[in-house]
Structure 1
């Protein structure tokens, strides 16, 4: 039975989340109940709109995260209250403060004086009987400290702490030092003072980065931060993570200061401490001693701990920003346009080791492989063309997918020559597309690839993956750990647990938004379907292999360990083409089939005849078919699905055409207009693949003629865009681009302009991207130019 206190806490949590999401508390209560019952976010957002009042998947993901945090907060609150109560120190006022704490940080501040800690100098001083002395001097600064301390001096009392440090009360100085330790600890555990100092340091504080002496040359990639100062609260995530990486590598030292503190006679934090604890310098006998206590409180007790805490806060905030960038790019990549069911030749380029070729049929099945050596040092061009022509002709290849790694453009020329020799397929010329191969090597060496192709060479598995990710990016990329797909920003520097959780949520949302063909999906794809896991996915494939293709969704209930609850969660996202029930090919959930049958019965038609009949469906009023279970939102979704069953939310397939003769950085020149593909979007701009093995950067200020606050307002990963070259630094492999095609490139040498350099010009998302770059000023001081590393090879 749920107790009253638990119910009250649940109501408080629900109300707080509702306020944060700007929705009704009832919506949050309903969503929490569904989540607690095991429902997934995709299921709730699509099939329980009436219950939650139409909360979408983004709101539900935020709700899920906040619910986790607030429940952890309540669990910690209970533990803290119990601990303080056991100490016999829980008075009503303190309990009210503890129950009113809205963050974990506030709760820990209040708990700090009661936390069990190692034996401190202040505790030893209390044991020596010095607390009355400390209280006397604090309460009456008119007392002479030395005279007040004299009665406490006793040569016989010498105490030692756990570190072997002794506090002997053999003289006045020892007694006053003990009293000082007591007050320092008391002040440093004042929750209100900690909150004020923390807020001020966060709002006004400056993060200072300086190079460690002697590490200038070794740490050149962090040269942007050798002499860098920036408002702490305004540091962008990419710069924060760059500076923390520099510190971790021993190149940078970081410090936190308040503006103009060096010129102040008294540190602003010391003034805040004195004001909070009621200490004022009025020329009284103990005022100087009390000022010294305040100074030591700041310098010894508070500065380092607050600096560490606020740096942790900055890192946490930066990590969330970086994870958000990664998640947004991953979503765009997963939902990229599929080429569809077309026989495809995948080419994994290489020079000395050759080009790996793999042909897959329209269903994605591997049908043939080869290794060719068209490039230096082998130069077997004609032989390679003949081999590829044979593969294409024999298997009716319609598309050629070329990996974008080493020798990509050389292999692209080979494909062009091949296409000129091939006859059209079904009246269309064979097409070619350069495909990102990020993560292909990870897939090739994975346990999953070994199970999928046990007898196939590892290098050829990469060619298969390249071909398949052109056919269906989502179905192929789910086989790769999201972190290895290569669209992140400092993904190695963030919390791996939070990153994995966020990316898994993105993959789950994308897979369920598109839907999955039950009879062709791989175990990796099935495992991402709402309600399923790797074990159930394997059981579905085993049942499919043993009994043949599924003819109906209901047959899923015969799969081992797949019960009614799981069926409810997954069925609507699984499609069966040409099955026994035409509705099984749609996103209409089986629980709603009776609604469709009612619509058909009222029209005097077969339910199958409703599918695709737009003219008829648009005349229907959803409100006429509402019942106790299904409301207008669900009926509206059903009618839309019947109109276009199994509709794919992904865009139409299109390809970028790289410019002939532009294959390396030295081929680029200012004002050249090129077509390219957005590979990565960050908070400061977008990286574009223009076919020269280095991605160029379009800074946020060059994305549009209008002001752009967020680059994702303008572009997303996978978009095909026109860009103009502003500047190229061949030695440092840096390219500055603009999407404002009317803009003219600046011609003076970059080194002569000496703009500030920024680590945000690096290209995130590779295994070990480089920080920093040379000056480039095509857009003045604001333009941060591109930095790209070698492809994932």
Structure 2
């Protein structure tokens, strides 16, 4: 079946089968996706990393499908029930669901009512009534009364159980009804009695209905969470019309029709019983799983896309940085790190309530800044962030040359308490480690965030509801792709960063660091071969992604793989120069014809990449560093007014819109409908995490800590919009049964963000959907449904 797997993947990707074959061979041979995408373009005929990741995932699924197919064939063959027709059906099954439908009648199970009826000899009764409805059921059943069958009624019950099982295990019928229910049916949601106040965060779903096929990921996850928390009751409705069509399909499949014959009513009742008690239940379980998997896949995709944007955010660079981890009662933690991230000094200041040592704190910061020649001040965006930002503003006035930036502190506490932080910062108080992380993540977000479990970085939606394996696999792939796209300085990289390099696991990363500590910086890529357990395969996979700056060979600082150095030597012969004069010489390099350097080993794609890299060796694909400026005097929710124009930073992007930090401790939502004047299918087409944007405030709900924003600055503020000082009436935004609306879900879950420390204890605060006047204003403005957890 290997060939068919390759053919199927090729069709799905829209590529040639030989490309898939080459990629699979490389993956099976131990090559990583980043290595194949960068250095094996000739083999795969230019498959990129996105295609390769999809190929890898589909290969895993289809191989699991083949393993399951083999197991099912062996099971049925062992039962002596495998014939050519059944085997052909099993071999043609193209999904796990279809395979399980076919296997269901043969799947070993506990003794069912149908099995007991067969053992009592009642199958001929069931077959007879189904084949000839002109037979009177009571008379036919009387002939089967005996020791194991008490009376005619018991005989008919047994016969019905046999037919119900037969109807419910017909793979083609079940598959047809499943697809009909998916396309015609809808999900109903209602609040459980007495749960209105306690479950107010799910108020959008108190009386809600929407077709299965139209439900977006975040609404599915919100409703399932509401059901899990015993606030909502979910019902799967086959379709708005009566379900007779489903029963009709079952009856037609088995030649049952009510023509007034003696057994017709009994058979029709059997069909109804099969539908209501067996098939509908089975389909309900299937469609729940289908909805969940679709929602989960989309949530994982959104999380992965946002994580990629965050990891590839612009680095401030190698500059001495002061990190401020804001706090009120516990004080503001301070850490100064040098250009390489080494800690130069730490302190704790208490400028805010209740101690209010403002001047003393300012003097402490000024002394640290002057002593260590600080250039950047990195401020965490958690509790007391704006107050601390104001303090930093006064510091900037005192110490010329300083620049202050507010950064996300999501995951800082996770790092602080980690084993690696203990190893990296031994003897340092846990609370101060967070300030170090905040400083370093401004210098280089990628290098610092790889030390944290991706799930703790906080750019997902409903991440706590997702399958651990699927989410981790996807996020790990994103981190790996990002690290290798940027490249790693082997002489400064931490073990967690090295772990993410192609071909290097945690063990090899530790060996590299130990070798570096014992022998000094690596002078060449060749020296990596002296690291314990770093063999030829690992060297092949990692060498091109590791940079050695100022080493013996200038090429070692580029992304040119050592295996391709002979190509560069041939180029040098043509240009009659040396490597030092060739690197960066765009005039000479752009005048060369790549085709002249192609040989049997290195094709045109590789040679073209080499020439591009030589022109700008070791170039960083990340954007240039820039910062947002928060409006002075706008520090808390109550400072916001409808109509205000503000600058902010996109912190997270979900399927329904983007969240923007405007400097008031609570991100505002720009609904997908307010991102652009044109239709936006995916918000990430317009904005990404880290983008600096101009927004207009549409509405503020202080009790619910909700801000409605728009990127369309000419949008008018809805009449009656303003600050909500009282709780609304709990309505808003949902598609009511029999009504319209355009629900975007309650804020029953979603993003982990600032307040990271508090979240570790309480598991994340959940907020509900807009209600009352604010909901009306949101609907008029096209912003009816933020969905986020802070």
Does residue 42 (structure 1) correspond to residue 22 (structure 2)? The answer is no
TM-score, L = length of structure 1: 0.95
Secondary structure at 2:688 match in 1: coil
Alpha-carbon distance in 1 for matches of 2:12, 2:789: 41
**For each residue in 1:612-652, what CA deviation from the matched residue of structure 2 results, as whole angstroms up to 9, or x when unmatched?**
00000001111110000100000000000000000000000
Map of 1:59 onto structure 2: 51
Instruction: Give how far 1:214 is off.
Output: 2.0
Once residues 771 and 349 of structure 1 are traced to their aligned partners in structure 2, the CA distance between those partners, rounded to angstroms, is 24
**What whole-Å deviation, never above 9, does each CA across 1:468-514 have from its counterpart, x for those lacking one?**
00000000000000000010100000101100000000000000000
Q: Residue 367 of structure 1: SS of its match in structure 2? A: strand
For residues 608 and 662 of structure 1, what CA distance do their matches in structure 2 show?
53
* Alignment correspondent of 1:474: 446
Decide whether the 8 Å contact of 1:137 with 1:143 is kept in 2.
yes
1:418 aligns with 2:410: no
Give 2:98's match in structure 1, choosing from 73, 88, 106: 106
Instruction: Classify the secondary structure of the residue corresponding to 1:218.
Output: coil
Alpha-carbon separation, structure 1, partners of 2:706 and 2:554: 54
- Counterpart Cα distance in 2 of 1:172 and 1:781: 67
Matched, 1:408 2:385: yes
Residue 357 in structure 1 maps to residue 302 in structure 2: no
Contact (CA 8 Å) 1:761, 1:784: kept in 2 or not? no
Pairing partner for 2:699 from 727, 730, 737: 727
Could you tell me which runs of 5 or more consecutive residues in structure 2 were left unpaired when the two chains were aligned: 723-727, 735-743, 753-762
**Is 1:669 aligned to 2:641, yes or no?**
yes
The answer (yes or no) to whether the contact 2:461–2:788 under 8 Å persists in 1 is: no
Worse-matched range after superposition: 213-222 or 640-649: 213-222
The match for 1:389 is 366
Matches within 5 A, 1:162-173: 169-173=149-153
**Dislocated runs of 4+, deviation >4 Å:** 749-755, 760-763, 785-790
Corresponding position of 1:630: 602
TM-score, reference length from structure 2: 0.95
Query: Residues 438-477 of structure 1: matches in 2 within 5 Å?
Result: 438-477=410-449
- Which of 574, 579, 596 pairs up with 1:602? 574
1:736–1:785 CA contact under 8 A, matched in 2: no
Return the alpha-carbon distance in structure 2 between the equivalents of residues 651 and 763 of structure 1.
31
Equivalent residue number for residue 84 of structure 1: 76
Q: Give CA deviations for 1:584-618 in whole Å, capped at 9, x if unaligned.
A: 00000000000000000122111222100000000
**Secondary structure of the equivalent of 1:207?**
strand
Runs of 5+ unmatched residues, structure 1: 1-8, 158-168, 424-428
Task: Report if aligned partners of 1:348, 1:403 keep a CA contact under 8 Å in 2.
Answer: yes
1:555 is paired with a residue of what secondary structure? Answer: helix
Instruction: Give the whole-Å Cα distance in 1 for the aligned partners of 2:144 and 2:38.
Output: 74
For the Cα contact (< 8 Å) 2:745–2:786, is it kept in 1?
A: no
Residues 650 and 138 (structure 1), Cα distance of their counterparts in 2 relative to 1, 3 Å cut: same
Query: How far did residue 354 of structure 1 move?
Result: 0.7
Aligned to 1:342: 319
User: C-alpha offsets along residues 201-226 of structure 1, whole Å, 9 cap, x if unaligned?
Assistant: 11111101111222222211111111
SS in 1 for 2:143: helix
1:54 deviates by 0.3
Q: Which residue of 1 aligns with 2:756?
A: none
Q: Which residue of 690, 714, 728 corresponds with 1:742?
A: 714
Offset of residue 783 of structure 1? 1.1
For 1:332 and 1:445, the matched residues in 2 are separated by: 25
RMSD over aligned Cα, in angstroms? 1.4
Residue in structure 1 matched with residue 87 of structure 2 by the alignment: 95
Partners of 1:753 and 1:559 in 2: CA distance? 63
Q: Among 183, 201, 207, which residue is 1:221 paired with?
A: 201
Q: How big is each residue's C-alpha offset from its partner over 1:545-577, in whole Å with a ceiling of 9 and x where there is no partner?
A: 000000000100000000000000000000000
Query: What's the CA shift for 1:15?
Result: 0.5
Name the CA shift for 1:252/1:36 in 2 (closer, same or farther; >3 Å).
Answer: same
- Alignment match, 1:267: 244
Establish whether residue 204 from structure 1 lines up as the match of residue 184 from structure 2: yes
Relative contact order, higher structure (CA 8 A, sep 6+): 2
Q: Is the 8 A contact 2:335 2:347 kept in 1?
A: yes
Q: What is aligned with 2:108?
A: 116
Q: Does 1:548 align with 2:520?
A: yes
Could you tell me how far apart the structure 1 residues matched to 2:508 and 2:560 are? 22
The 1-side partners of 2:230 and 2:164 are apart by 32
Counterpart contact for 2:747–2:789, Cα < 8 Å: no
Deviation, structure 1 residue 772:
2.1
User: Does the 8 Å contact 1:125/1:181 carry over to 2?
Assistant: yes
Tell me the residue number matched to 1:230: 210
What CA distance in whole angstroms lies between the structure 1 residues aligned with 2:426 and 2:161? Answer: 69
| SS across alignment from 2:780 | strand
**C-alpha deviation, 1:88, in angstroms:** 1.0
Q: Equivalent residue for 1:579? A: 551
The Cα offsets for residues 351-387 of structure 1, whole Å up to 9 and x where unpaired, read as 1111100000011100100111111111111111111
> Which residue number corresponds to residue 774 of structure 1?
770
Q: Does 1:152 align with 2:168?
A: no
Question: Cα 1:305–1:763, aligned 2, differ >3 Å: closer, same or farther?
Answer: closer
Give deviations 1:444-487, integer Å, cap 9, x for gaps: 01111111111000010000000000000000000000000010
Tell me how far 1:781 sits from its aligned partner. 6.9
